[in-house]
Amino acid sequence: MTRNSASRETIDVLINNAKSTMSYSEQLLQNAELIKSKFSEHHITHYLQLLFELLSGSLSAIYEVCSDIKNMLSTENVYTKRFHMQMINLSQYELSVYLVGRDKGGVISELITYLNKSHQDSKELEDILQQVKLLGEQCDIRLRNVTAHYDNPNTMYTMLTTLNDEDVYAKRVGNQLLIHDKILKYISSVLQIITEKLSPDKKNCTYKKSVEELTLVDILNDRVAEAFHNKGELDIIITEQMANAWVNIESHKKIFSICENAIGYLKDKQFDYSRLTEIRTLEELRWEVSFMHYDLVCSMDTYLKASSNAERSISFMRTYRIETSALSHLYGYNEKYKVKSIWNKIKSVPEFKYIPLSTEIEDELKALTAGFNSTKRNLYTHYRDGAKLNISERWRCANEMNHPKELMQMLRLVTLCKKINQFLVLLISSMSSIEKQKKDEMLNPIRKIKELAYKNNQQDIVDISDKFLSKFSLFDKKS
């Protein structure tokens, strides 16, 4: 992982700037959404509606990437840094689709079309559009897909190893901030007029909820966050769990590659490689579960470091995306994908049915995947879903989210990861015992021959027997 030799003071300034930007953006976004909610009471032109969608979209994206940039710069952990780089890449890709569109149907594109039809100057917006396009071109689409949907662990590993320079992502966030400033400048005069017209008692855009406006959910979320914040041991636990995260991911890669190479060799020699295929599948499951577990811990870390309920809600939106994406690959969300799942592959391992924990885990997987909500998942992933713009609904969900409930779900998922790992240890142990039993059945006749040869002073047969037995002993040590 590379970073230019910036001083600690410089990094602290960047982190504090990100926090300040988030605070201001949250207030302005709250105000913009309040104004949008009043549009139905007034005759607002399509142009003004699009203008506020532009503002809300840009504010929402800035809020998310600033959360990630401060968390990326605040840690030295390789896995955590890569997690936040993924999130920045995903957010900037979604922003590009939101503003530009896939077929020129983005918010800025529609604004330009509106101005051109009205014979008004659109040069300033066209300049912003070009800057957004350049930002979108910097996004890695394959990485975005892996982040949003997960993939087989080998592909995920390959994509994550490309994330080695945090300066690249710091510069991309800087470019996004420049675009955001241009958007604010373009909208500022209209925003002031509309604010004064719809909210004459609030002439600046610094709306905050008053004590009277706080809901029970707001208060409960604040109290829970405060309780977690005061438990310093949680930070220690997360630090310990993440300390060797990337080393463990590398270890899974190494074991998986050894299995792949061995299978290729045995296949080429036309030997039976079915047992190695089973071991490879077990390692694939361990690898995928590790990605899921570490991503959940990163989301929990984001929650603990968040400075507002909105930022905490973003961490839970990501948790839901991690849950649906990871479990879709592990277990499948319908019959078609269950057949293709890693879990279905390991069910063919003969020892699988002898581990009682497998039934408990499968019941949990069934319950979790049965409750998948594709609409919710898409909302938490996309800034727009086709022609539907999601920013307002995402913001509403962020403000109404029940954090204690989401924390319990996160705990449930982390516990599931631990159960699966425990199950795999038991399964591998059972497989080893059976393989040892098979080997003993094969070697016992050799041992008896050696014993008889020793009694009859047939040293040549004793030596041959020793050589044969030593080869298996050496294999045991290597394994």
- Quote the tokens at residue 426: 């038991």
Kindly report, residue by residue over 312-344, the tens digit of the pLDDT. 999 999 999 999 999 999 999 989 999 999 999
Q: Does 153 share its domain with 274?
A: no
Pick the range with the lowest mean pLDDT from 19-28, 232-241, 353-362. Answer: 232-241
- Quote the tokens at residue 244: 């060797």
123 to 112, 129, 207: CA distances (angstroms): 9, 10, 31
Q: Is the residue at 144 inside a domain?
A: yes
Q: Does 309 share its domain with 392?
A: yes
Q: Does 76 share its domain with 128?
A: yes
Q: Does 173 share its domain with 317?
A: no
Determine the structural domain holding residue 375 and report its residue range: 225-438
Q: Which residue has the tokens 């994206």?
A: 61
Alpha helices in 199-215 (DSSP H): none
Kindly report, residue by residue over 394-444, the tens digit of the pLDDT. 999 999 999 999 999 999 999 999 999 999 999 988 887 776 666 556 656
Q: Is the residue at 467 inside a domain?
A: no
Q: Is the residue at 337 inside a domain?
A: yes
Kindly report, residue by residue over 421-435, the tens digit of the pLDDT. 999 999 988 887 776
**Confidence check: pLDDT of 129 > 80:** yes
To the question of pTM greater than 0.85 for the whole model, the response is yes
Q: Nearest 5 degrees, angle CA 376-CA 382-CA 384?
A: 105
Number of structural domains the chain divides into: 2
The distance between the two most distant Cα atoms of the chain, rounded to a whole number of Å, is 110
Q: Is the residue at 214 inside a domain?
A: no
Q: Does 74 share its domain with 173?
A: yes
Q: Is the residue at 212 inside a domain?
A: no
Q: Does 135 share its domain with 238?
A: no
Q: Is the residue at 3 inside a domain?
A: no
Average pLDDT score over residue span 31-43: 82
Average pLDDT score over residue span 244-250: 97
Considering only residues 439 and 172, tell me which one the structure prediction assigns the higher pLDDT.
172
Q: What percent of the chain has pLDDT over 70?
A: 88
